[in-house]
């Protein structure tokens, strides 16, 4: 038990180090630069209009994940924008998860299976096996919105986030990965305290096919 607690303490200290490093702060600021003048693709705007018109979020906070543009938009329960950022997404192009993928260790998932599935997901805040706070959007497939982790790939991932190139941001095993500051300031207060909805837009078919009712 003591070892487990010490390990969690080390993880917590690592988060602090990530947040306090000037290079990391600069990269995260560039990654979240779209918040000031929100740039949304036509697909993301269509999704937002449909969600608001149909009140499909059912009074819950929600997020739109635009895979083609590698951006995430987070809204409160009333549909007001809380924040937007660039994000890291599944390495492989595709809109479905492979059955049983949640039981495979991330390092052993074949590249072709590292997809971020499209769809409407009811989210649940929780913790992963490391005790890290995450927002699950497909628990069975072990997919969540989480922070950039303080591991050996951290700096490279922050550079990818700051690049502004959607193709460079396709590096995860399927999870939606956001800057630490964005997770703490936007995701956790909005989606990390109650259930919400995440709309992951498709990339292999028209976005309108995901929404069954016309505006």
Q: Which domains does the chain have, with CATH numbers?
A: 2-204 (2.40.440.10)
pTM above 0.75, yes or no: yes
Of the pLDDT bands very low, low, confident and very high (cuts 50, 70, 90), residue 25 is low
- Which of 86, 39, 65 has its CA nearest to residue 196? 65
Kindly report the backbone phi and psi dihedral angles of residue 124, in degrees, each rounded to the nearest multiple of 5, phi listed first: -145, 120
Which contacts qualify for 35-44: CB closer than 8 Å, 24 or more apart? 35/83, 35/84, 35/85, 38/73, 38/81, 38/84, 39/71, 40/66, 40/71, 40/73, 41/66, 41/68, 41/69, 41/71, 43/68, 43/69, 43/201, 43/207, 44/69, 44/71, 44/73, 44/201
Q: Which two tokens stand for residue 78?
A: 């009333």
Kindly report the backbone phi and psi dihedral angles of residue 132, in degrees, each rounded to the nearest multiple of 5, phi listed first: -80, 135
Tell me the pLDDT of the chain averaged across its residues: 85
Q: Are 15 and 132 in contact (CB under 8 A)?
A: no
Q: Going by DSSP bridges, is the β-strand pair 143-147/133-138 parallel, antiparallel, or unpaired?
A: antiparallel
Q: Decide: helix, strand or coil at residue 172.
A: strand
Better pLDDT: 114 or 3: 114
Least confident of 11-25, 35-49, 84-98, 175-189: 11-25
31, pLDDT greater than 80: no
109, pLDDT greater than 70: yes
**Over residues 156-164, mean pLDDT:** 91
CA 193/CA 198 separation, integer angstroms: 14
pLDDT at 166: 96
CA 1/CA 6 separation, integer angstroms: 9
CA 126/CA 193 separation, integer angstroms: 9
pLDDT at 26: 52
Tens of pLDDT, residue by residue over 44-102, are: 999 999 999 999 999 999 999 999 999 999 999 999 999 999 999 999 999 998 888 88
pLDDT at 13: 41
**Over residues 142-161, mean pLDDT:** 91
CA 84/CA 40 separation, integer angstroms: 10
């Amino acid at each position: 038990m003591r070892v487990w607690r010490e390990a969690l303490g080390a993880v917590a200290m690592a988060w602090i180090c990530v947040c306090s490093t000037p290079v990391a702060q600069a990269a995260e600021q560039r990654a979240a630069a779209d918040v000031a003048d929100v740039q949304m693709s036509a697909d993301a705007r269509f999704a937002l209009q449909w969600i608001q018109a149909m009140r499909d979020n059912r009074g819950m906070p929600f997020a739109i994940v635009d895979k083609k543009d590698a951006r995430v938009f987070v809204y409160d329960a009333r549909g007001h924008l809380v924040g937007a950022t660039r994000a890291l997404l599944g390495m492989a192009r595709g809109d479905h998860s492979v059955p049983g993928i949640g039981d495979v260790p991330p390092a052993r998932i074949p590249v072709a299976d590292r997809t971020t599935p499209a769809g409407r997901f009811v989210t649940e805040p929780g913790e992963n096996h490391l005790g890290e706070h995450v927002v699950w959007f497909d628990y069975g497939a072990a997919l969540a919105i989480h922070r950039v982790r303080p591991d050996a790939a951290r700096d490279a991932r922050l550079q990818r986030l700051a690049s502004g190139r959607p193709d460079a941001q396709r590096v995860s095993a399927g999870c939606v990965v956001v800057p630490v500051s964005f997770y703490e300031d936007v995701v956790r207060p909005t989606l990390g305290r109650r259930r919400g909805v995440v709309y992951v837009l498709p990339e292999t078919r028209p976005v309108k096919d995901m929404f069954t009712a016309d505006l």
